[in-house]
Amino acid sequence: MSNVKLAIVYYSSTGTNYQLAKWAEAAGKEAGAEVKVLKVQELASPEIIETNPAWKKHVDETTDVPTATPDDLAWADAVIFSVPTRFGNIPSQMKQFLDITGGVWSQGKLVNKVVSAMASAGNAHGGQEQTIHALYTSVMHWGALIAAPGYTDDSIYAAGGNPYGTSVTVGEDGNMIEDVEAAVKHQAKRTVQIAGWVKAGN
């Protein structure tokens, strides 16, 4: 799968989805893909961010992470998104990024991209599945091919059993409750594998 180009596009306020993205990056590289980890543009004002020390700390720690552009999607064969849920939906930062893909979409540059998604929330039924579904709805308009993990590996059960994409609950201390690292890595390798098949015409 050395010819597969994988873009991992995330939004993270306090670091959970950045960690999911880094695990996916490691697995993607292990699977032989060329990988880019990219954050979407932050929309919240510095005044708002500074009211949450964990948010400000994460923003300061990830200043070197490149900001995603639609051209990164055109470059990629596969895309993994990772987002927190916001009231059962994707955060506005990710929504804006999806909304500016119209140019590359209209040129047919997003057709047959292999896409998979991950999510987090503050409680076990906080909208993770709905958030992933919302993201998948947008990429269906591209003509993308969704690479859901389903129940293709035991790690998915250990991580909570979300067949749409790995999801995790984050406690009040900011730590992940479920052990999802193996599920994230399986999902990333599966996404790269499927993208390889598509790219090879299989």
User: What are the pLDDT digits (tens) for 27-39?
Assistant: 999 999 999 999 9
The model carries a pTM of 0.96
Question: Could you give all domains of the chain from N- to C-terminal order, each with its CATH number?
Answer: 5-199 (3.40.50.360)
Residue 122 phi, psi (nearest 5): -80, -10
**Residues belonging to the chain:** 202
Q: What pairing do the DSSP bridges indicate for beta strands 114-121 and 145-146?
A: parallel
Q: Which two tokens stand for residue 14?
A: 């306090």
Contact by Cβ (8 Å): 6, 77: yes
Percent of the chain exceeding pLDDT 90 equals: 95
- Alpha-carbon torsion angle 33, 95, 41, 143, nearest 10: 30
Average pLDDT of the segment spanning 83-89: 95
